[in-house]
A and B are shown apart, each in its own frame.
Chain A
């Protein structure tokens, strides 16, 4: 096995035994990046100098015989939506092309405190709006399994980099599926934690009641390790929840006997890819064989999720993105005659098509006379969806569904049809609307050798149960060990 192919826990073991240095691993990763990045396009920026500084610090600690944490010396990639002090943070947008934050987001600070090595900033759909990473203001990212296909989005750079071994693991963010859907498309593990589990301070806001940061990793154990590092209350984010964080490594239990698994009819719908259906049904069969109790359930309001989501997320986005006005930071257009033109031209130049589309839709649904019909209505439907899940979780411990209705689609396939693009998030959106956690793990391959993701949803703050179920699946299958042809 090559160094760049290691997982966090494998690398940690080698570092502790002094069989390898962080510097060597960091060098191996940058070598790998130079080798494949031209084909993949996962990174918006590399931070080599700082990375080697961090690696050197860890190597000196190890040499002095100091104890090191699970992430110390481990090279990670960070989605470019997370503020990094002194390092450009573009959020995939031209409007933030030259934005250099003077502070670290809380999760970034936590990773630094853990002595993780940051390799660079990863590509994404502009302001995390998209399901294919084609909406990046800078470049597209290709799927390592098939370069003619999208890596998913919006954390497409993160998922592609992990799948192509261009980093050991990465952070992404998930507003409507932006961690899980790319993880599924690229054959890696991605978790959206419970809303409030992870601080959003220093995360560039898209839809504040839905956004959440989470790990994208090569296996479930690494997911637990990153969750340990990033979870917990933060006084700088008043929506982060002040409750104890368990040690998620203790949830890595290879046993699902007696666990009740719900299968909602509404997720096995017409238009679903046959290979996806087969892979997910086979996974369900395996869980049954391992002693889990499978139960058919119903989440009746599922068909309304996409409509609800596109009212709520655009409304929140139109408000959040009002801050890009050319005054305090970011782009300011030139050649305006007055203040109004400064605003309108800056935003015209700085925002891409999808962002404009969502801001305008959000402005409309919040505008006088329409608020009741759209935003209030959607917020009410959100309550109905919450009740669906509350009822379901009274009967079962987790819910199993496909992460996405199809494997990765082709680059360009849905660019001109926003509604079709939105519908690719149909299975992930309900999780954000209701705030519950969910994980996507690899569960098979299509006939075209594209990865398929299995999504496991759980109760609020029950990430431990998700990790246990996911870990059991992983320990007894080998889908997660397959490498894309680019490797």
Chain B
């Protein structure tokens, strides 16, 4: 299976150099070929496992509780203004 590495890197929001595209592309091809061995197994009708220990729903009381103070959270952000995270303009 051939992976369109540029497209996938874009989806993953990772910039790759031309060289990385080649080496990473080859390595991923190799890994994908390896994982294709799963197709040897017939899994018709087998339920998927997403969680190894049978917990289905973890409910808690719908009660409010304090979250982290805004100043503390913002204090470690790369950029902030007026109590908000600041990012580049997104709407032209």
Interface residues, chain A, with chain B CB atoms under 8 Å away: 99-100, 102-103, 194-196, 209-210, 235, 238-239, 241, 301, 303-304, 306-308, 310-311, 318, 322, 325-332, 336, 338-340, 342-345, 347-348, 351, 353, 356-357, 359-361, 363-364, 367, 374, 376-384, 386, 418-419, 422, 432-436, 460
Asked if residues A327 and B77 are in contact (CB atoms below 8 Å), the reply is yes
Contact B3 A311 (CB under 8 A): no
In Å, the complex CA distance between A432 and B30 comes to 24
Chain B: residues with Cβ within 8 Å of the partner, total of 49
A235 to chain B, nearest CB (A): 7
Q: Is the interface of A mostly helix, strand, loop or mixed?
A: helix
Known contacts A304-B41, A327-B85, A384-B41: A364-B77 contact under CB 8 Å: no
Could you write out 12 A-B pairs with CB less than 8 Å apart? A209-B51, A307-B38, A310-B35, A311-B38, A338-B88, A360-B12, A364-B8, A378-B38, A384-B43, A386-B52, A419-B30, A433-B52
From known contacts A196-B55, A308-B38, A380-B48, infer whether A348 and B77 are also in contact, taking CB-CB under 8 Å.
Answer: no
B5 at the interface (CB under 8 A from A): yes
10 A-B pairs with least C-beta separation: A435-B52, A379-B48, A332-B78, A238-B58, A380-B43, A348-B15, A344-B15, A307-B35, A363-B12, A382-B49
> What number of residue pairs across chains A and B have CB atoms under 8 A from each other?
159
A377 is contacted by which of B8, B20, B39, B90 (Cβ under 8 Å)? B39
Q: Which residues of the other chain, A, contact B8 by a CB distance below 8 angstroms?
A: 360, 363-364, 367
Instruction: Tell me whether B50 and A379 are in contact (CB under 8 A).
Output: yes
Please tell me if B28 contacts chain A, counting CB pairs below 8 Å.
yes
- Measured CB to CB, the closest approach of chain B to A96, in angstroms, equals 10
Q: In the complex, which residues of chain A have a beta carbon less than 8 angstroms from the beta carbon of B90? A: 339
When distances are taken between beta carbons in the complex, the residues of chain B under 8 Å from A318 are 12
**Binary contact track B50-65/A, C-beta < 8 Å → 1, others 0:** 1111010010100000
* Contact indicator A347/B77 (Cβ below 8 Å): no
Complex: how many Å from CA A412 to CA B35?
24
A383 with B55, Cβ < 8 A, contacts A304-B38, A310-B35, A343-B13 known: no
In the complex, B72 has a CB within 8 A of chain A: yes
Chain B residues near A239 (CB-CB < 8 A) = 51, 53, 55, 58
- Annotate B71-92 by CB proximity to A: 1 below 8 A, 0 otherwise: 0110111110000010111100
Residue of A241, A325, A338, A419 near B55 (CB, 8 A) is A241
